[in-house]
């Protein structure tokens, strides 16, 4: 059977990663979390004391550092998904922390940062057989993807999911702080000049406010079957 490209876009904390990982396992596809790539970049810049801690945002300094950033993904058979590596170091845990979340939208808004990430993403998915999730996959990275999904969920549902996730990992933060962060990220993602978060004209909306992970996976698998996206060679 011919392989396809599945592009998943949507707002933060609306279940994109959960769905994309499950689809990749079910279909035997490569999974790419493009948000992790921007988080890796942000984490690198924070480690270099260029971003965060009240630093004035210096685009020129950030751009100069891009050539020193190498991002790869390595499959973890125990977790059954690919983890992010920054300059050959596993940073999957570090990039999910709130300080990175608070700075990633502004870093990812830079034209030069997005150009580098998009070029890497296109390379990762050039042979199809990939489930890629992010903010601009169906519009900028793979505009010709066979299946495009645009995921959303009620803001309070998203906040609760993110709040529960952070607390389960030992990050003590208030519900209101999580909501403020998500609202700021939504604004930055939808209003940035370079490749903003928008629904592709041919993307299918998936609102999972009232769906559990299995239900949303079943929905997409039925969708693939109904659309007959897999064609015999």
Where along the chain do its domains lie?
Answer: 5-227
User: Cα separations (Å) of 80 from 9, 19, 23, 35, 57?
Assistant: 21, 13, 11, 18, 37
Which residue's structure tokens are 């604004």?
187
Buried b (16+ CB within 10 A) or exposed e, 157-169: bbbbbbbeebeee
Q: pTM here? A: 0.88
Task: Tell which CATH classification among 3.40.50.2000, 3.40.50.300, 3.20.20.70, 3.40.640.10 matches the domain 5-227.
Answer: 3.40.50.300
Read off the pLDDT of residues 124-143 as tens digits, 9 standing for 90 and up: 999 999 999 999 999 999 99
Read off the pLDDT of residues 13-42 as tens digits, 9 standing for 90 and up: 999 999 999 999 999 999 999 999 999 999
């Amino acid at each position: 059977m011919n392989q396809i490209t599945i592009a998943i876009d949507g707002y933060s904390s609306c279940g994109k990663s959960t769905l994309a990982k499950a689809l990749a396992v079910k279909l035997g596809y490569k999974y790419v979390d493009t948000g992790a790539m921007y988080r890796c970049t942000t984490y690198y810049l924070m480690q270099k004391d260029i971003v965060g801690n009240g630093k004035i945002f210096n685009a020129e300094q950030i751009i100069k550092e891009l050539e020193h950033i190498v991002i790869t993904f390595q499959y973890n058979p125990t977790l059954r998904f690919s983890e992010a590596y920054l300059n050959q170091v596993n940073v999957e845990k570090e990039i999910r922390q709130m300080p990175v979340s608070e700075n990633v939208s502004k870093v990812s808004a830079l034209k030069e940062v997005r150009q580098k990430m998009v070029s890497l993403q296109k390379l990762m998915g050039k042979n199809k057989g990939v489930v890629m999730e992010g903010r601009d996959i169906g519009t900028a990275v793979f505009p010709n993807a066979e299946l495009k999904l645009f995921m959303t969920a009620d803001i309070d549902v998203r906040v609760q999911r993110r709040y529960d996730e952070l607390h389960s990992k030992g990050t003590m933060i208030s519900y209101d702080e999580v909501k403020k962060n998500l609202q700021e990220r939504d604004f930055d993602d939808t209003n940035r000049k370079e490749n903003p978060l928008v629904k592709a004209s041919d993307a299918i909306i998936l609102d999972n406010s009232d769906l559990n992970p299995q239900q949303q996976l079943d929905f997409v698998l039925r969708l693939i079957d109904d659309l007959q996206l897999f064609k015999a060679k």
